[in-house]
Amino acid sequence: MKKQRLSQIASVLGATYNVDAEFDSVCIDTRKITKGCLFICIKGERFDAHQFANEALELGASAVMIHTDIEPNGTYIRVDDTSSAMLKLAGYYRSQFDIPVVGLTGSVGKTTTKEFTHLVVSAKYNAIKTQGNLNNEIGLPQMLFQIDSTTEAAVIEMGMNHFGEISRLTRATQPTVALITNVGVSHIENLGSREGILKAKLEICEGLSEGAPLILNADNDMLSTVKDSIHRVIFYGVDNGDFRAVNIKQNDSSTEFDVEYYGKSQHILIPTIGIHNVYNALAAFTVGYLLDIEPQLCANALAGYVPAGMRQRVIDVGGIKSIEDCYNASPDSMRASLKALADIKGNKKIAVLADMLELGEYSKEAHGSVGKMVAENKIDVLLAYGKDAKYYVENAKANGIEAYLFDDKQTLADKLLQCASSGDVVLFKGSRGMKLEDVINTVYKGWEK
d(CA 369, CA 331) in angstroms, rounded, equals: 8
With cut-offs at 50, 70 and 90, classify the pLDDT of residue 191: confident
Q: How far is CA 31 from the centre of its chain?
A: 26
Average pLDDT over residues 382-399: 96
- Summarize the confidence of residues 16-45 as an average pLDDT: 95
Would you place residue 440 in the very low, low, confident or very high pLDDT band (cuts 50, 70, 90)? very high
Output the pLDDT for position 435: 93
Architecture of domain 4-81: 3-Layer(aba) Sandwich (3.40)
Pairing label, strands 76-78, 101-105 = unpaired
pLDDT digits (tens, 9 = 90+) for 287-312: 999 999 999 999 999 999 987 666 77
Which pLDDT belongs to residue 253? 84
Q: What is the pTM of this model?
A: 0.86
Q: Which burial class, exposed, middle or buried, applies to 242 when counting CB atoms under 10 A from its CB (0-12, 13-18, 19+)?
A: middle
Residues 6 or more apart from 373 whose CB is under 8 A from it?
Answer: 331, 334, 335, 338
* Confidence (pLDDT) at 432: 87
Residue 432 CB contacts under 8 Å (≥ 6 apart), including other chains? 326, 327, 328
What does pLDDT average to over the chain? 94
What pLDDT does 18 receive?
Answer: 96
* Cα torsion through 437, 441, 442, 444, rounded to 10: 130
- pLDDT confidence of residue 425: 96
Q: What is the mean pLDDT of residues 179-193?
A: 81
Out of 19-23, 171-175, 188-192, 363-367, least confident range: 188-192
pLDDT for the residue numbered 309:
61
Domain boundaries of the chain, sorted by first residue: 4-81, 97-303, 313-447
Q: Helix crossing, 390-398 with 363-376: angle to 10°? A: 40
**What CATH architecture is 97-303?**
3-Layer(aba) Sandwich (3.40)
Task: Please give the radius of gyration of the chain, using alpha carbons only, rounded to the nearest integer.
Answer: 24
Q: What amino acid is encoded at 205 in this protein?
A: C
Residue type, 404: Y
CB-based contacts of 349: which residues, under 8 Å, 6+ apart? Answer: 341, 342, 377, 378, 379, 380, 381, 424, 425, 427
Q: Which pLDDT value is given to residue 45?
A: 83
Q: Give the C-alpha separation, 39 to 204, whole Å.
A: 29
Q: Is the pLDDT of residue 132 over 90?
A: no
97, burial (CB in 10 Å: exposed 0-12, middle 13-18, buried 19+): middle
At 107 the pLDDT is: 86
CATH of the domain spanning 313-447, picked from 3.30.565.10, 3.90.190.20, 3.40.50.10090, 3.30.70.360: 3.90.190.20
Q: Please state the rounded mean pLDDT for residues 392-418.
A: 96
pLDDT, average across residues 381-385: 97
Alpha-carbon distance 101 to 81, whole Å? 27
Is a pLDDT exceeding 90 seen at residue 423? yes
Q: What is the mean pLDDT of residues 386-397?
A: 96
- Least confident range of 121-130, 281-290, 425-434: 425-434
Predicted confidence at residue 310, as pLDDT, reads: 65
Which pLDDT score is estimated for 108?
84
pLDDT digits (tens, 9 = 90+) for 330-382: 898 899 899 999 989 999 999 999 999 878 888 999 999 999 999 999 999 99
Residue 350 vs residues 52, 132, 142, 397, 429: alpha-carbon distances, Å: 51, 30, 41, 14, 11
